[in-house]
Structure 1
């Protein structure tokens, strides 16, 4: 947490900011003088932030047995992962705050070294669901019940990526194009970052989109140059750690390819900004839907030409962001380009990651893929 007035004048007092705004409680200051000098900048946003803070309880509400531990601010990520034996472990490494260097030096391919859940079969979705998906999943409780998972399973921490894609599809106008996407669905996924280390969990989309050949283009500057153009088909689910589980035989069966499978997930990586790479991408894949997770639209000017492009393409696009204020600012940026209100208004994502973000500039509850909105 930083002083909200940092860089606006006199240097900040040493130590963390401890004075919070008495109205909204969302911003903090290092001193009374900084709080007073910042009021002209803060007074317009203060009522809005106050309203957002009132929704904190709803944002922190998850059905899991570990909810209290995973939603407390202050070093929760590493301590929580350590408490469940997953700290700096396999595919979970990128969720750890204390090991960014580990992730920078280990950038495996889609079928890379992080080869299983590091969990027992009873705690993860490593095989086909017991029954096909038949009703709309409205949140984590529905998903866990459908997948026969106990509520102490931490897999939602990683599965918020594919479940958010599922939810974006349900909210977008694409779902009305029944005939067009009856067997094939193309999604352009913009700005992947942390999920580049967790791509194996996207195999869960097989269960969420039964009978559909799903092709996802992941485009963004965070894609390493040596992985530009990399492609892989996820024919099976991320396996568990039990050596005797059936998921091991499924993986061996489909290691040679996905031929004959009714549902497959194909991922292709592209380095660069969407508006710079789109011509090459459209030669291979014309999207039904565009998804931009944790986009930070208001924070990066590079989004403006991309939004202009999406407007011209007329493709449904759904964005997510870490907190409501970021979504609010993004909505303003999008509307300034499109000259129209959002097609999909800002709303809480029921499949947001149930592990609080720790590097927020505000006291607002922040979660990966927390709020969802679209154009």
Structure 2
């Protein structure tokens, strides 16, 4: 776990071994960084405390790697690097930004538009069948896409699945016959998503028959990036500063 105050002033003094005593959700490298970060952290400390009381809910995720990717990493029995290395994904393609050492050397120009996984473990082709009903969980999604529960693709797919879930929260029925055949998504403030753009292609499967246009807007977008990163009849991604 990184120091929550990293990059906000002075350099970190070492590993983030000092946790907030109240929420236990964030860590710091020193008491100086903890004090400096309090003005920001106090706004979310209570919320994080409530969430941490329900941390056992993580065990309800259907993935076979849930404990390995969460609790074991937090308790330093495992690292993000070792988790990825076991799956031959360390510092590879879209997975580059999933650990600190990979993120430090990743650039927009190095973007790999593939999953770097066997087709058995990822949604690298269209679904075998259209969505028969709304998806309400990761288990529903994995079952629909015929992906085994030991596949780590959920670590990247939370971007498009969050968009899908947002539609559910506002009461828009994806399967509603009266829904427009065009969908424009304005995605503000992307950062590491810019190195994982290919995952947004899954929106085509989640919104079948809909022309999807995604505009990612924010200061992290390189000044000379391609304005239209991907474009075809049903799906396009546009990068705007």
TM-score range, shorter chain: 0.7 to 0.9
Q: Distance in 1 between matches of 2:161 and 2:67?
A: 22
1:201: which partner in 2?
Answer: 199
Q: Distance in 2 between matches of 1:214 and 1:265?
A: 5
Shift of residue 184, structure 1, vs aligned partner: 0.8
TM-score (norm 1): 0.52
Shift of residue 173, structure 1, vs aligned partner: 4.5
Q: Distance in 2 between matches of 1:128 and 1:13?
A: 48
Give the aligned CA root-mean-square deviation in angstroms: 3.6
Change beyond 3 A, Cα 1:222–1:16:
closer
TM-score (norm 2): 0.78
Q: Distance in 2 between matches of 1:217 and 1:136?
A: 25
Residue deviations 1:107-164 (CA, integer Å, cap 9, x gap): 25xxxx5142211121111222111001111111000000111111111111111111
Residue 212 of structure 2 contacts residue 236 of structure 2 at CA under 8 Å; is this kept in 1? yes
Q: Secondary structure at the match of 1:165?
A: helix
Query: Does 1 or 2 have the higher relative contact order (CA < 8 Å, sep 6+)?
Result: 1
Shift of residue 24, structure 1, vs aligned partner: 4.5
- Is residue 149 from structure 1 mapped to residue 147 from structure 2 by the alignment? yes
* Aligned with 1:86 (options 83, 89, 103): 89
Q: Distance in 1 between matches of 2:104 and 2:45?
A: 37
1:56: which partner in 2?
Answer: 55
Shift of residue 213, structure 1, vs aligned partner: 0.5
Q: Secondary structure at the match of 2:221?
A: coil
1:114: which partner in 2?
Answer: 112
Residue 189 of structure 1 contacts residue 217 of structure 1 at CA under 8 Å; is this kept in 2? yes
2:212: which partner in 1?
Answer: 214
Change beyond 3 A, Cα 1:182–1:52:
same
Q: Distance in 1 between matches of 2:178 and 2:172?
A: 9
Residue 202 of structure 1 contacts residue 265 of structure 1 at CA under 8 Å; is this kept in 2? no
Residue 174 of structure 2 contacts residue 207 of structure 2 at CA under 8 Å; is this kept in 1? no
2:102: which partner in 1?
Answer: 99
- Whichever of the two has the greater Rg, that structure is 1
Unaligned 5+ segments in structure 1 are 234-256, 259-263, 272-375
Shift of residue 90, structure 1, vs aligned partner: 1.8
Residue deviations 1:245-283 (CA, integer Å, cap 9, x gap): xxxxxxxxxxxx54xxxxx22111101xxxxxxxxxxxx
Unaligned 5+ segments in structure 2 are none
Q: Distance in 2 between matches of 1:202 and 1:61?
A: 26
Number of residue pairs matched? Answer: 228
Q: Distance in 1 between matches of 2:120 and 2:175?
A: 36
Change beyond 3 A, Cα 1:54–1:89:
same
Q: Distance in 2 between matches of 1:15 and 1:210?
A: 46
- Is residue 124 from structure 1 mapped to residue 122 from structure 2 by the alignment? yes
* Aligned with 1:171 (options 169, 172, 177): 169
1:138: which partner in 2?
Answer: 136
